[in-house]
Structure 1
Amino acid sequence: MTRPAPRIRRTVRLAAAAAALTALGACSSPAGSSDSPGPPAAGGAASASPKLSGTVTVFAAASLKESFTTLGERFEKQHPGTEVTFSFGGSDTLAASIAGGAPADVFAAASPATMAAVTDGKAAARTPVTFARNQLVIATAPGDPHHVSSLKDLAGPGLKVVLCAEEVPCGAAARKVLDASGLELTPVSYEENVKSAVTKVVLKEADAALVYRTDVQAAAGKVEGVEFPESAAAINDYRIVPLKNARNAEAAEAFVALVRSAEGRKVLTGAGFLKP
């Protein structure tokens, strides 16, 4: 699921070449100096980047499926000879897989807590960055046949409600909202990721679900979204990082740069994500 100074050309007289070379050597920064620029930021000159090739494997939160699939296709067009493969799922499950040595180049998590499982395990190549945010809404069947207009309506008699498992970011956010509002629910099921929760409503196995606004937008026509003010207390920050054991480190950095670029942000906000 973030830019090098121009070279100055010096001309020296042939007679003073030795002195000039000595002075130049004294003024140059040593290799690996802290003044060396870090990974190229979004929007950097493409001509300065090495030609990329091979596969870049991205582990990303299920709620990023639509937007990251679009960005993966654009990445492949921008870098012929590359291929982006994705593994989408619950952020907690993906983090555990990375900690267990699963081969991946990039990790995009739906919450800081699930990203911490990777950074604490020293699997991240550097400090993760927030690239998007997401907010809960109530998903209902089209036309809202059960008249769900507020969070409290989810406690109505006979209403079948689905939540994400609390280990998953959407479930943790739902628990935070419910606790803050003092609302107790008995869901018909706890789902392992947000897409599964939406599917329950689509299949009419549930009347409502607490899911992300992006997933309701992705399922437009199959579900409707009901916004509720209490969701402002549990907005999730999405973070991304290249991984230390990446098999294609250059492509991993380039994909992260695309996600953080103006182009990437446009795709994400178009999918319903909030700006970081």
Structure 2
Amino acid sequence: MSFVNAAPEMLAAAAAEVSHLGSSLCAANAAAAARTTGLLAAAEDEVSVAVAALFGSHGETYQVLSAQAAKFHSRFAQTLAAAAASYAGMEADAGQSLLNIVNSPAQALLGRPLFGNGINGAPGTGQDGGPGGLLIGNGGSGGSGAPGHDGGNGGAAGLFGVGGAGGVGGFGLPGGNGGRAVPAEPEGCSATAATGDRRGLTGRQRRRRRSGRCGRSARLGRQGRRGRCERSPHRRCRRWRWQRWVARHRWRRR
């Protein structure tokens, strides 16, 4: 039956609704039992007594059938809840297996998985929380500190995640630090180190800096090629501009 699609969340919700419905029916049957099984005769004649006994027997029969239906209802709700738990467990195992396959190379090379939340520190040990996945994952919370010890630090979060909370310290001692929300950048790889400090520059100077070239082109600026002048990093080489103007007017004269 490959066309059957089971959603564990919907099965669990249906099992809860079925259980609630069964409880409501049992309460209604119990409330109606006294009025349907113990009927009094309308008069002392034989006909009234026979009619009351007949309706009372029908009420007792209904109570027996409703008790059997309640048992079946309870078993059905239990089976539905067990099926939802079974499907959820199977999906969790399959997802965890796939997650382990994806995280194993990163865990072996970098010491951290790509996806997943960090492990929380054990209470009373002051253990630091585990870091979350490099891409997606929340940091683990630090464990509370034992008497006379500090609390554990929270684990660092991944690129998308929240750092773990620091653990509570022992009596009179500080708690742990919270985890970083973003992984620390390696030295020399920050945006300021890559682009340079642009504070104090005007918009025109920034545009000129972006339009110019660096490296070999900057060193060749005096030779007439496109680049920045070595004497002034924020202006183009005046000599290069003059050579370009002369070349343009020569071409027009021809």
Question: TM-score, length-normalised on structure 1?
Answer: 0.22
Higher relative contact order (CA 8 A, sep 6+): 1
Decide which structure has the larger Cα Rg and report it.
2
**Structure whose residues are more often helix by fraction:** 2
